[in-house]
Structure 1
């Protein structure tokens, strides 16, 4: 397949009109060419480094976030995850990293990779969290143990859970080093895990070739994660100046998940008063700290925390636009954060329009590297995922 004479932003910069050719699933050639589509452009498919595929994907107001997983069969949950993945793909987000996965998301990854169903590229991280930690508090306390997510306490249990996830086929590990917003009875500032436990998780995951993403809102949670060598920071909300300098020096990617915390803080999505209060406390100081971090050179990447309940799949484009407003990024930097930088952050062979890389493309009206507002669902003309047109039609 091919596109001729279309303005190309290749994941790092604008290259002018180009001829592109590709096959499933590889870009074959990119060559300068006379212009043929002045009103259109092509960019790489977007990469969301932080999602949760298993959540309500139906129409209307979503059901209660805490009880939906307990009242919905596992088979049905997988179908909701399938719908979310395909919805993201049709909206130009062709790579997703699920940061609280299990066998369900691994099954989706395998089905898409095998071409059984059309779907985006998926990476799956298994969570290692403590009893009464952030990941353990997403269901009401009275819910019995068999229905709760697995936990690990002490360095040896932590190592065993990392190994269990490796055996299941996970791409990486998610570690919680602070409390969270949506977890029940939790506090953002709560310590999650001792340093010895965190060190054990990171060491065991790295020994098995798996990167570690650390959920961390609090300054202490970010600090211990950075000092123990995690591979990415999720949220990073209360990042101090010295932490920003350390993260910038190391090039550690940070997914700021902006829209979800604002929606919860403002009560624009159904949440408990407790969750709204926690989010409001974070958002009150977040913008200044994160803008300061961006100015210091922290490597921010697209990560939305999309789950279907509080951020929809397809809202990723709005998140990229919002990154320019909160972080102070220019349009080109925001696009890089959602394409080449995000792909590099998770080791995905996409994010750039170059020969030999995966054929994930979005054809748009406008010039989003100049006017980030042009990055909008309404401007999408076609989406190519794994070399095949999955939305719209090529010009």
Structure 2
């Protein structure tokens, strides 16, 4: 059965289309033809796409990194929290999210959403391939015996990639620098050898899986680019000599602005060592990011949101921060959170645009956010539709 919103203003993910008759059947846009304006003040935009989230925390209080919750909570209970996180993020217009450093729990929840077991957003899951004592490993206290898998040779890296593929992961995450919230490492630490990273990237690409590289340092960015990754995460240590290579390759960069600023400020629930590492990581970031944005480096929406530091709906604030950080227009920034983010995930042929033949993921707003991102707030969201199904709010008559 085709459903219709007749005469509503459309921003399709690239440009304003004016009032259209928007029709969809199941998970497919069937029509977006010009029509008389019947819903003044309302508009449709594509669902937002967050390319970097973490849903492995308690939805009640955000307990996660550095806490015992992930270590002692059974997977069956974790899955309920992952579902709740995904639905709460979706209520703020995020219809696709990629969990970077997922476990079989997030993979299973994403599969349940895909199969229609539960109505929900699109949840992609990338399995981590990191080393013993690396950034990914040190979210678990050193003497805790039950740990997520690591890989300490090229062969182990290939094996772990294959295990994630068997599990149903849609991508792989690697680490080319240390990190901030991990316990006991340093941002500048090397994570894995070049041979291990090359083996991971080669194996992932052979299995048609995208590779996202956590990289906070100039050296980490160089390694990621030279080894052929598909995206950069954080990239706080970016320097001008890297701009040309990034622009030429169109490698997407998820800047995770808000979380790094928040952790750097310190305070409740943030370890002093993590705050110090964050301050080190973002030292010099702002002028470098502004220059990179103006040079054409391809930044896309990626928040590191986990319901604790960047809370549900934080994507709306992240977009506004991106506009300022990169010197962009409102519309250019919204492209980075919709159609370009979809393309960064390899899904640009079916997500990120509200056009016939694309998936039925869209948000009805009482705003014109492509003209003013300040209008894109929780209060301005009228309805959220993903896979053609209403996830939040109510559709106008």
TM-score (norm 1): 0.97
Please identify, of 309-318 and 118-127, the stretch whose mean Cα deviation from structure 2 is larger.
309-318
Q: Are 1:360 and 1:386, in contact at CA under 8 Å, matched by a contact in 2?
A: yes
Q: Which residue of 2 aligns with 1:92?
A: 93
Could you tell me how far 1:77 is from its partner in structure 2? 1.4
Q: Which residue of 1 aligns with 2:49?
A: 47
Equivalences for 1:1-395 in 2 at 5 Å? 1-59=3-61, 62=63, 65-144=66-145, 147-267=146-266, 270-348=269-347, 349-395=350-396
Could you tell me how far 1:186 is from its partner in structure 2? 1.2
Alignment partner of 1:354: what SS? coil
Unaligned runs of 5+ in 1: none
Q: Are 1:216 and 1:235, in contact at CA under 8 Å, matched by a contact in 2?
A: yes
Could you tell me how far 1:308 is from its partner in structure 2? 1.9
TM-score (norm 2): 0.96
Q: What is the distance in 2 between the residues matched to 1:204 and 1:17?
A: 47
Q: Are 2:64 and 2:70, in contact at CA under 8 Å, matched by a contact in 1?
A: no
Question: How large is the Cα RMSD of the aligned pairs?
Answer: 1.3
Q: Are 1:205 and 1:211, in contact at CA under 8 Å, matched by a contact in 2?
A: yes
Q: What is the distance in 1 between the residues matched to 2:73 and 2:54?
A: 16
Q: What is the distance in 1 between the residues matched to 2:312 and 2:345?
A: 19
Alignment partner of 1:203: what SS? helix
Q: What is the distance in 1 between the residues matched to 2:351 and 2:49?
A: 8
Could you tell me how far 1:283 is from its partner in structure 2? 2.4
Q: What is the distance in 2 between the residues matched to 1:329 and 1:176?
A: 29
Q: What is the distance in 1 between the residues matched to 2:139 and 2:321?
A: 27
Q: How many residues align?
A: 392
Unaligned runs of 5+ in 2: none
Could you tell me how far 1:64 is from its partner in structure 2? 6.6
Q: Are 1:22 and 1:387, in contact at CA under 8 Å, matched by a contact in 2?
A: yes
Could you tell me how far 1:130 is from its partner in structure 2? 0.5
Alignment partner of 1:295: what SS? helix
- The change in CA–CA distance for 1:286 and 1:184 in structure 2 (over 3 A counts) is same
Could you tell me how far 1:38 is from its partner in structure 2? 2.1
